[in-house]
Amino acid sequence: MSHAPLENDRFLRALRRQPVDRTPVWLMRQAGRYLPEYRATRARAGSFLGMAKNPEIACEVTLQPLARFDLDAAILFSDILTIPDAMGLGLYFAEGEGPKFERPVRDAASIAALSVPDMETELRYVMDAVRLIRRELRGKVPLIGFSGSPWTLACYMVEGGGSKDFARIKAMALNEPAALHTLLKVNTDAVIAYLAAQRAAGAQALQVFDTWGGVLSPAMYREFSLPYLSRIARELPRGEGDQRAPLILFGKGNAAHLEALADSGTEAVGVDWLVELGEAARRTGGKVALQGNLDPAVLYGSPDAIRVQARAALDNYRDGNGGSREGHVFNLGHGMSPDMNPEHVAVLVEEVHTYSAR
Ligand code: CP3
């Protein structure tokens, strides 16, 4: 892997809380069905999993939003459910129903049978995609690798797919907590190995998606999600100095836990729109960078409304951060949706850059 300097490193600098010329911006799910070129590639490839498992196509789709918008980072095109798929659960996507597993894990025996997949065989397609994307990016912007959190992966593995009430996994937490902790432990070992392998393949920052941490009561979060996120923050090897790949712990509904997350050893915390950035900045006191947090639905507003909301988020962060915009990575509070207008994304990215210029 070459270490040629990046053309645009403001995303990595902001994650290290170093000064930048303008606030960097990328968007969760920036590659996806809202882009006509994505839909065309998907029609050619046949399916989402067919795209994710083909490094050339994953690379092509990763680069699509960067060709249109002045984004400050690329994110690997893949999915969080690659790990349980490689553990043998049989991931598939039922049309219009989201992800599902053929063999969910619902008892202590099937949990005990799980092991950490080999990163350069079972998950080689992910590492090949990372290597190819790094090469094709040619140092334009940094590449983000990612994983699901141990808890969020466990939700899909136990429920067998998406869920509204998380009845099965919450019953397991109450009735068989030791079995659930065994599952969370193997998931944590796998996440650490997976992120370390993505970094070795060329990923320059790493994000953990704790999409479902917010469905837990604070006490259950402190038992079943936070300790495993903290272990990742402590144990994930990520290099030194300006070669260090910063870690971002994103969580939906993590507002109650910002102080604990800031003390975990992570470089950055991603937040959704239910907490104000200024409050998050005050409560984390400069220990971490913050990423977020526009309500994705703002993209349904008019261009003028989008500009007003972007400025408000930038200023809210600055006001809570002692008058400085440093340490902020602009993003949505969650992923984009297929019915969003690409022209509105261009407006948002442009406004973040021009309004925050310094
Ligand atoms: O941000 C990016 O652009 C990178 C790519 C990315 C995808 N999934 C692509 C994808 C990332 C980071 C993910 C993570 C992911 N996958 C999460 C955590 C992020 C979050 O939203 O909180 C979760 C929970 C999943 C599981 C998953 N995969 C779901 C719920 C779905 C949506 C199913 C649907 O029909 O909408 C997927 C499929 C998926 N992953 C798509 C994309 C672009 C849609 C694929 C398609 O149908 O073409």
Tens of pLDDT along 88-111?
999 999 888 899 999 999 999 999
Cβ atoms of 201 and 9 within 8 Å: the answer is no
- The DSSP H or E segment spanning 39 is helix 36-45
Check if 212 has its Cβ closer than 6 Å to any atom of ligand 1.
no
User: Is the backbone of residue 210 left (phi > 0), alpha (psi -120 to 50) or beta?
Assistant: beta
The confidence score (pLDDT) of residue 358 equals 85
Query: Within 13 A of 98's CA, how many CA atoms are on the CB side?
Result: 9
The confidence score (pLDDT) of residue 129 equals 98
> What are the backbone angles phi and psi of residue 287, rounded to the nearest 5°?
-75, -30
The confidence score (pLDDT) of residue 4 equals 73
- The whole-angstrom separation of Cα 82 and Cα 101 is 11
Check if 29 has its Cβ closer than 6 Å to any atom of ligand 1.
yes
Check if 79 has its Cβ closer than 6 Å to any atom of ligand 1.
yes
- The whole-angstrom separation of Cα 127 and Cα 55 is 9
Check if 28 has its Cβ closer than 6 Å to any atom of ligand 1.
yes
Q: Which atom of ligand 1 sits closest to the CA of residue 27?
A: 1
Type of residue found at 319: D
The confidence score (pLDDT) of residue 1 equals 54
The confidence score (pLDDT) of residue 3 equals 62
- The whole-angstrom separation of Cα 14 and Cα 291 is 10
Kindly report whether the global pTM for this prediction surpasses the value 0.95. yes
User: Is the backbone of residue 309 left (phi > 0), alpha (psi -120 to 50) or beta?
Assistant: alpha
The confidence score (pLDDT) of residue 272 equals 98
- Annotated active-site residue 242? The verdict is no
Cβ atoms of 175 and 117 within 8 Å: the answer is no
The confidence score (pLDDT) of residue 15 equals 98
* Active-site residue, selected from the candidate residues 34, 38, 156, 317: 156
What residues in the chain have per-residue pLDDT under 70? 1-3
The confidence score (pLDDT) of residue 2 equals 53
For atom 3 of ligand 1, which residue has the closest CA? 29
* Active-site residue, selected from the candidate residues 22, 29, 168, 311: 29
